[in-house]
Structure 1
């Protein structure tokens, strides 16, 4: 097996080359409609395990298996009526469903279930039709914001993976919604780019939000999406006193770093993302609706890391579409869990 420090990474727009890499046991980074993924053949257990090494991902955090069609999922899993209806109505698209595993040849890291989805990105569907199922988490260092830009992917994964597929960038910006249908209940495990209300409308039934101790879905147990800087979540920026909290944070840092050079406000970098930023700076991101917030959130957090931001203010999303999903990501990113 190639060392992750000595791989000659191929950059290509050819799904043929990417599929050949997958089928030969290689690791490929590719865009989906949600975020970038890092994947291997679901039939190659060693390659799937290597993804954990590259990302420094906890070994009990499962991978999502990407399929090209409902028919291919039915060969791998025990499909029930609810799952079939959701796939028929919402796929290809940003919905992942937990089902009982049927095909023992597919990597599940010891679980009796699989998290499965059909991405809508045309290049990835083309890739999947050539390579077969691909097991892939988001392409990012474990615990950090997911990547939505090719430049970030190339910077992070060149020399670590065998191939990076260059295709249209993600259009949604946040990961898929994960629903558990492996038992009798309909359980939302991770809010995502498809609102839970949409799923309830399709099924004509309510979704449960039970807290699960079993690790059958990505995104529910470990630190996720967190930038280096401290994050403060604000219900509304309108009339909010940023200065008081900035000064408090500067004084707190001074007390922690007594032996270092004193921190002045001129050297303390602050960034904001939200709807009501009266005088945006070069570090701020103004958004106008929740879909825009979702699209830019990870990009903004990654830019904060690259620019050495010390403190981040995030305005809570508006009511309506994607409110639950954006709040989920903000809460996880700010708490570090």
Structure 2
């Protein structure tokens, strides 16, 4: 079983449809045959191709990659967290319905994660539950809303809702830090994105949020958890020697690795080995970040052809863990 649990889609949103969210800043798709351009208002955002929006091409891609199942989630520019809730909720509902439409006829192989209007707790919980009821296998959320990280009380409450209602969560970095200092060379994606992911994890650990959240919460962080595994020793050291680090966190930070999962998208055998050593092979799942250029181009090859991982570990990472995490049958 080979399950890619982290891939993206972007439906064929028209400019008129996007205007219902925000006529100046909402994303839409300009198509030219098999090629396309995600637009934000009138500005080009990202060149893309038809695997991102065409389910028939997506299935061909799965066959080419030898995937049994692929779980798709919104391209983060679709989140709409800064829009008024009276626009953001209908937008999320529309995008989630569009996502389900992409699976029609391919329900056994294409699965989707919902997006929610995370700026409003009640609306986010309601849409997460509605999406779960119509077939979404979980939700994807950004790692922050404005200046609020995951330890903010209403975001913790949303995670609590997911934990108590059997809704798996993928946390994906977005709207990256750095600003003017990272204008070139895709530095926001190369430097700030891993930092955002580590920030999301540490905000839950060091705030003590994991102490309040139910153990039934199934939460996964994209991109191998960013810099978390490599820098965990630094965090533990700080916890041992600085009271301001441990003031809200009663246990050694490394003891909380059993509370979350990460995907395998680290693109290096040594990094994957370290990730498995830190997290345990039972908490790493195959994730490709497909179909983007920064994703894994030969999905699963980094796991399947790893020189030192045991075959049982590879099997868990390639499919077994995701099958249990998302309760796939």
Fold shared by both chains (TM-score > 0.5): no
* TM, length-normalised to structure 2: 0.31
Structure having the larger proportion of residues in helix? 2
Greater gyration radius: 1
The normalised TM-score by structure 1 is 0.30
